[in-house]
Structure 1
Amino acid sequence: MAKELIVQLAFLILTLSILYVVHNLRKQPGQLRARSRDRDNHQSNRHLVQGSRLLARARSNSHGPRSMAHAKSALIEADQALSLSPRDPAAHILKALALDLMGHHAAALRSMDSALSVPHVKSLSAAEREDALVKRAELKLAVNQRRRVDSALEDLDEAVRLSRGSNTTAFCLLGECYEWKGMKEKAKEAFQRAIEIDPDSVKARSGLDRLGP
């Protein structure tokens, strides 16, 4: 009788041990995937930080050879970040800014379109989305001013809404768009709003000077 109890107890312990191992094995792939995602996100953020620093250096060096070298390095960092986190809009934006600095406006516009597409755009804050929309409008006008002016206006109107009317660059670009469309009064109004936000805005004052009284 004692032997039977010992055997049954041993069998019970063995069964519980097997169930415990199986349970842990089922959990393990999910845990490994989560750790892998965390590691990828960490590495992606490192590339983004380094790319942003390189982009800042490129801008500070104006358009000299060092500026181009830094912009190319920033582009490499952006691509490495995207290889790890392809849905991260920040990586797409960094890539767009680097390409724009290198003069590749059409490619930069495609990257900015990716950043502002669903579901990527959902990860951006209102302020980040506002800045991205203004930059995309600039790129649209740089790629094809005549064909894309209406599309640029849509982006700028949304940017102004998000900024609650406090984005000088958006109003300056709105003024230029209306000026190109021959809508003089609307252009004046946009440039004037830009000056109200920033009295030192050279672009806004130049726009008003062009339009005359």
Structure 2
Amino acid sequence: MFTKYRYRNRPSYDAKRHFILGAQLLSKSRSTKDRTSSLKLAKSASEEADKSISLDPRDAASHILKALALDAQGFSTSAVEALDVALSTLTAKSLSSSERGDALFKRAEIKMKVKGNKRGKVDSVVADLVESVKLKGDNAGAYRLLGECYEKKEMREEAVEAYERAVRIDHECGAARDALNRLGSMQ
């Protein structure tokens, strides 16, 4: 009887173990200068994320890890799909508001890299970023990217406001400062 209870949570422990191993591999991938080694490590991280997902599919962190590993390999579309799963109602419950905001920001960043429908893509990215800054209002990168999107949509006032928020949060945000100078709004 005790054995039954002892191994009851075993899949959860194994899922966490695979997640941690995948996160370590992804970290090594990012710090490696050699492109071939970096890709191999990112692929291994993706495989560990898959193992974690197979053991605990409702944990959003494993889906996010998979998305980051796929993005590191250059598979942006697949990375967006993995983030879509992580942000779905089934898995998003396992994320805090701050983590959800970060995931939305990362999805927006990756969507901007994907080639395709320009107008629909920008609208989708703006929706992600607006939700991201509501959940985590101290992300200068999200405000900077939101400003870029507003610029693409030719919404100058909104772009200026987003860039100014980015600079208020991070005084060293050169891209936002440059954009404000370009738009003639630097104070």
Q: TM-score, normalised by structure 1?
A: 0.79
Distance 1:106 1:155, change over 3 A: same
- Aligned twin of 1:153: 126
Q: Which residue of 2 aligns with 1:177?
A: 149
Q: In the TM superposition, what is the alpha-carbon distance from 1:117 to its structure 2 partner?
A: 0.3
1:157-202: CA deviation from partner (whole Å, max 9, x where unpaired) = 1111111x21111101100110110112211111111011101112
Instruction: Supply the RMSD in Å over aligned alpha carbons.
Output: 1.8
- 2:91 equivalent in structure 1: 120
Tell me, yes or no, if structure 1 residue 134 matches structure 2 residue 105.
yes
Q: One-letter code of the match for 2:23?
A: S
How many equivalent residue pairs? 182
Distance, in Å, in 2 between the alignment partners of 1:48 and 1:168 is 28
Q: Residue type matched to 2:83 in 1? A: M
User: Per-residue CA shift, 1:88-145, capped at 9, x if unaligned?
Assistant: 1111000000111111111000000000001210111111101001011112222244
SS of residue in 2 equivalent to 1:118: coil
Q: Distance in 2 between matches of 1:89 and 1:63?
A: 30
Out of 50, 64, 86, the residue aligned to residue 21 of structure 2 is: 50
1:162 and 1:111 mapped to 2: Cα distance?
A: 20
Q: 1:210 to 1:64 in 2, by over 3 A?
A: farther
Give the Cα–Cα distance (whole angstroms) in 2 for the partners of residues 50 and 172 of structure 1: 32
Counterpart secondary structure, 1:87? coil
% identity of equivalent residues: 49
Question: In the alignment, what sits opposite 2:181?
Answer: 209
Question: Does the residue aligned with 2:154 lie in a helix, a strand or coil?
Answer: coil
Cα deviation 1:63-106 (Å, max 9, x = unaligned):
72221121111101101101111121111000000111111111
State the distance in 1 between where 2:60 and 2:8 align.
Answer: 16
User: CA 1:71–1:137 in structure 2 vs 1: closer, same or farther (change >3 Å)?
Assistant: same
- 1:72 matched to 2:56: no
TM-score, normalised relative to structure 2: 0.90
* Structure with the larger RCO, 1 or 2 (CA within 8 Å, 6+ apart): 2
Matched, 1:95 2:66: yes
Kindly tell me: are residues 146 and 60 of structure 1, through their superposed partners in 2, closer, same or farther at Cα, counting changes over 3 Å? farther
Q: What is the deviation of 1:147?
A: 2.1
Letter in 2 for 1:59: R
